[in-house]
């Protein structure tokens, strides 16, 4: 039951009506029997400053932030966490007695998905396909976890070079055109293969990044950050090739659970959250 004592959490963005965060966050909250409610607030262009001021005025405990506000919101906050600072984007705001701190939980969500299935990325040779919106968090997560090497394969090398140069101060990264023999050689050494492109996402389920499976070792982990569909063509081919597979559900749920932990200090039941997400998608 929602009362005057119920604490409010929300996601802001534009548009935000499609967000599934309220579905799985509220499922976790109910399972934990906590007096919180999580909703969604659309915030239009030019209204972000007013929205953040409203967060303070209304005593909203925490916000998730999505497109197009993840970068712009930083100037309205009192402090920024290290991950958010490196990534240049905030997806979580904690309101502690009127002091607003920005975090980015995508990194922990990405890494947590692997660790949840017992996979340790430290010391592995990693290959990343594409440099889409989640690539910065993936790269930073792999660097922090101590992968032995990181190769990024893309369609347009010049376009992605500034991103790679930004992270070169933390780790030597190889950037290659994914249609070249050099990239095939990197694939042959890969122990972890990740897709950060939108290729294969609903409704274009017939698409996938170009991978020469003959070069990929059987038994490695193949991770696709897409979660609709649950098994992309990329993951299907990886599974049939004999690889371990992981989709983006764990990353989505993981970043949400980490946000809630930052807001409350409480760890929600991620399986309950994941089940609510699957039901909503179905």
pLDDT single digits (tens) 132-155: 879 999 999 999 999 999 999 999
Tell whether 44 is covered by a domain: yes
Do 99 and 22 fall within a single domain?
yes
Residue 1 clears pLDDT 90, i.e. is over it:
no
pLDDT per position as a tens digit, 195-214: 999 999 999 999 999 999 99
Do 121 and 209 fall within a single domain?
yes
pLDDT per position as a tens digit, 70-122: 999 999 999 999 999 999 999 999 999 999 999 999 999 999 999 999 999 99
Tell whether 2 is covered by a domain: no
The dihedral formed by the CA atoms of 98, 9, 137 and 89, expressed in degrees to the nearest 10: -40
Do 191 and 260 fall within a single domain?
no
Do 97 and 122 fall within a single domain?
no
The enclosing domain of 124 has a CATH number of: 3.40.50.720
Tell whether 214 is covered by a domain: yes
Tell whether 1 is covered by a domain: no
Residue 45 clears pLDDT 90, i.e. is over it:
no
pLDDT per position as a tens digit, 4-33: 999 999 999 999 999 999 999 999 999 999
pLDDT of amino acid 274: 96
Tell whether 152 is covered by a domain: yes
Residue 63 clears pLDDT 90, i.e. is over it:
yes
Are 39 and 10 contacting, i.e. CB atoms less than 8 angstroms apart? yes
How many domains in the chain?
A: 2
Tell whether 69 is covered by a domain: yes
Do 91 and 192 fall within a single domain?
no
pLDDT of amino acid 231: 97
What are the start-end ranges of the H helices in the chain? 21-31, 48-58, 82-87, 106-116, 135-145, 157-167, 181-189, 233-241, 249-264, 270-281
Residue 86 and residue 95: Cα distance in Å, rounded?
21
Tell me what percent of the residues of the chain surpass a pLDDT of 70: 100
Average pLDDT, the chain: 96
Provide the pLDDT confidence category of residue 187 given band limits of 50, 70 and 90. Answer: very high
Tell whether 193 is covered by a domain: yes
Do 148 and 243 fall within a single domain?
yes
pLDDT of amino acid 282: 85
The dihedral formed by the CA atoms of 137, 47, 263 and 107, expressed in degrees to the nearest 10: 0
159 has catalytic annotation: no
The enclosing domain of 17 has a CATH number of: 3.40.50.10860
Q: What mean pLDDT comes out for the span 118-130? A: 97
Do 159 and 211 fall within a single domain?
yes
Q: What mean pLDDT comes out for the span 165-184? A: 97
Do 94 and 214 fall within a single domain?
no
Using alpha carbons only, what angle is made at residue 108 by residues 55 and 261, rounded to the nearest 5 degrees?
45
Do 82 and 14 fall within a single domain?
yes
User: What sign does the CA torsion over 154, 90, 229, 242 have?
Assistant: positive
Provide the pLDDT confidence category of residue 55 given band limits of 50, 70 and 90. Answer: very high
Quote the pTM value: 0.93
Do 51 and 81 fall within a single domain?
yes
Provide the pLDDT confidence category of residue 192 given band limits of 50, 70 and 90. Answer: very high
Do 264 and 235 fall within a single domain?
no
Annotated active-site residue in 5, 47, 56, 70: 70
pLDDT of amino acid 10: 98
Q: Structural domain of residue 191, as residue ranges?
A: 108-247
Residue 121 and residue 115: Cα distance in Å, rounded?
8
Residue 220 and residue 222: Cα distance in Å, rounded?
6
Do 256 and 238 fall within a single domain?
no
Q: What mean pLDDT comes out for the span 220-242? A: 97
């Amino acid at each position: 039951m929602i009362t005057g004592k119920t604490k409010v959490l929300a996601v802001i963005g534009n548009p935000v009506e499609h967000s599934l965060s309220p579905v799985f966050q509220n499922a976790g909250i109910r399972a934990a029997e906590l007096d919180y409610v999580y909703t969604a607030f659309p915030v239009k262009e030019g209204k972000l400053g007013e929205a953040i001021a409203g967060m303070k005025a209304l005593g909203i405990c925490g916000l998730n932030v999505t497109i197009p506000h993840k970068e712009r919101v930083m100037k309205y906050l009192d402090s920024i966490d290290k991950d958010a600072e490196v990534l240049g984007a905030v997806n979580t705001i904690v309101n502690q007695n009127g002091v607003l701190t920005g975090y980015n939980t995508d990194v922990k969500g990405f890494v947590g998905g692997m660790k949840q299935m017992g996979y340790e990325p430290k010391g592995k040779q990693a290959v990343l396909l594409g440099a889409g919106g989640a690539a910065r968090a993936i790269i930073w997560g792999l660097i922090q976890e101590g992968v032995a090497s990181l190769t990024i394969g893309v369609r347009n090398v010049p376009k992605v070079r500034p991103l790679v140069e930004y992270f070169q101060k933390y780790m030597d990264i190889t950037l290659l055109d994914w249609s070249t023999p050099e990239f095939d050689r990197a694939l042959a050494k890969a122990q972890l293969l990740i897709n950060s492109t939108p290729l294969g996402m609903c409704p274009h389920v017939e698409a996938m990044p170009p991978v020469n499976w003959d070069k990929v070792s059987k038994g490695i982990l193949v991770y696709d950050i897409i979660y609709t569909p649950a098994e992309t063509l990329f993951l299907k081919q990886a599974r049939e090739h004999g690889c371990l597979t992981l989709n983006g559900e764990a990353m989505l749920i993981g970043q949400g659970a980490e946000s809630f932990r930052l807001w409350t200090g409480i760890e929600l039941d991620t399986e309950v959250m994941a089940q609510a997400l699957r039901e909503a998608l179905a």
